[in-house]
Every structure is written in structure tokens, then in C-alpha cells.
Structure 1
Amino acid sequence: MPKNTAAAPKDAATKPPAKRGRRSRDDAPTPNRADLIRAVLVMEKRDGPGSLSMRKLASEVGVSPRLLYTMVKNKEELYELAAASMLDRWTLPDTNQSWKERFATIIKKGLELSSEYPELARHGLLNSLDHNYPESASRIVNALRDCMLEAGLSIEETRQIQLLYNTVLLGALDLARNYSGNDQPYLLKELKGALDVAFSRILAGAEPK
């Protein structure tokens, strides 16, 4: 019998395999901003200051880097969004408490957040020097101002102390960026303790006699 000479479909044997990697990531669902912010907070706390890049963030959320730019303009905008989200979670103390109690609670929480999210805190503090406060930060600044006014300080003294606090904390965070490994958490802890003592002493002396 003659052999079946029907040809196989053209190029069937040489058809290239489906592409993987970038194409599969591009086809993945695009994360929303909330997903990105959560990932930034996780990476900042887990990997430390200076660790964030668009490429690393893309890997964290499982998409290609170029897709991130459909959600945010750049890394700076990511920091602004993540810092605002961090501050939104900051619960202020009850106004029925004394100014000392309120002040101590606010300062303690601020130092804790600075230790956990140093790069986000640094970003927010840089903006504060230009009086560029997001709404999430303004309520905290106002709460601290009210404590100091109640303690007997003038408006100008209050402004100067807030500026001093922000500048010293920013300098501490910048210094900590030059340390890595086990040295960085230790240094941040030491600086946190020093700032806590310093500003508690300042306002302890401001109480009306």
C-alpha cells in the first residue's frame, strides 16, 4: 500500500514554546495602590532603609516593573503614599488626659514608627521642614502643639521645639542610614532613648509652677 503522505501542519514541529517571564508578568492582574502601599510597608520594615526600588517592589507584588508606572509616577510618590498610610494608623491619645501624658504618648509612638519605618519617617520629616504636611501628619503636629501650649509655651516656642525635634530626628535617621546589619537597630534604639529623654525633660521644665 502507498504510504500516507499527508503532511503535518506547517511548522508544527518547530513551533516555539510559549514565552514566559516578562509576558506572564505583564498579563498578571495589575495591583492597585493599596497593594503597593502594603508591599512598601512590609519591605521597609523587613529589609531596612534604602532597600526599596521599583524593580524589587515589582518582584514583591509579582508584576513587571513597567506596570508599576501605570499606578505611580516614581519611587518618591510611593514614599509619600506609604508615609501617609503609616501616619493614618497613628491613633492620638484621649484629650481628657493631661498634656504630659498626651505628649509622652505621641512622642513614644513617633519614635516607634521612626524605628520601624526609618526611610518613610525620613521622607515625612524632610517634607515637614518645608511645612508640607499631609492631612495625616497635620493632626499629629496640631496635637503636639496643643500639648506644648497647654504646658505654657508660646506659639513661637512651640514652633521652635517642633522644628528642633524634626531636625534632630531627621539627623538621627540620616546617621542610621550609614549603618547596616545589627548596628542599625541598635543605633536607632539608642537614638530613640536619647530623644525620648531630651524632649520629656524639655517639657517637664515648661509646666506652669
Structure 2
Amino acid sequence: MDADDDLETRASLYRVAQQAAALHRLLAALPPGAARRVTGGEKDTISQLASRALWSSTADLHQQGRSEYAAEVVARAHGGAAEGITELRLVTNSLDISERFWRAIYPDAAVQRVVGELWITSPVGPALLLVEAVAAHLITTVDMEIVVDAGAAERLSEAGFDVSHDGRYVVDANGTDSTVRMEVRPR
């Protein structure tokens, strides 16, 4: 396979990963009557498809240290030019805590752990690459604003994170030590 074919194949798989994750999010948000018509196995299949397509498109490249090529794949998937921020790399004190934090924010994200790295690709927004710091003073301490669904604050609180009374702020304590302002996505 030549380089152009590989790039286009990976870009196509990346688009599949994004659409499968979006479909999984839609299935999870179905009203109870409709949700009963979709089995857990079907949802799992969609989730597995998203994870496998993500791995086959970019995650394996990141593991191989070919992040620049992975960025080309994402750009090709977005029609040649990536819009906005496509990836955030964060250094965390704990991959486990950060995974719990970001899964609470984006429950339908494709998540992949590979050799000390955690990849989280949500259906919206940039992909997150988290690596564990060798010393606590090296963690990322950046404040950010994200768009979330209406249940994010409750999920974060249930996962043990400190959420402000109005549900607009949360701190990724012991992870990246970031303060995150949450804006609820309108339905």
C-alpha cells in the first residue's frame, strides 16, 4: 500500500471512529421506551467499533512515536485541514484518576491505554493524550473550558470530584490539577 492509500485508509477509519462514538452517545441518550429496543450488546458492538477504528487510524501511530503522521490522518479526515484544536497532550499525576475524570465528562468517548499513555477521543472536541508524570511538579496545570452534556456535573460528583454548587466548575485534583469550566451543551 502506498503512502497516499495508507493516509486515506486511516482517515476513513478515523471518520468511522468519530461517527461510531457519536452513534454510541445518541444510543445512550435515548428515552427509556426507545432504549429498551437497543440491547447492551449492540451498544457494546458500536463502542468496540469506535475503539478498533480509532486504534487502526491513529492510536497505533502515537504508540509508534509517529504523532505527526497521526495529525496528518486527522487533518485528512477533516477534509484536509483540522479545525481548531484537534489534540491536547496533558501530563497527569495519575492515569487512573484522569481516566475516571474524563470518562465522567465524556462517557461515550473511545478510550485506549497503550504503554503508559491514555488516549481519550470524544465525539466532540479534541482528542486527549495523557501521560503520567515522573514527578508531581511536572503535571499540567492549565485551566480550560469545555462543552458538556447536562449530566456531566452529576457524573463527576458521583466519581468523587469536587464540583461547584452551580455545576459549572470542577477540579481534576490529583490528576492534572486543572480547573475546568463546564458549559452545558443545549439540546
TM (norm. structure 1) is 0.29
When Rg is computed on C-alpha atoms for both structures, the one with the higher figure is: 1
Larger fraction in strand: 2
Larger fraction in helix: 1
TM (norm. structure 2) is 0.32
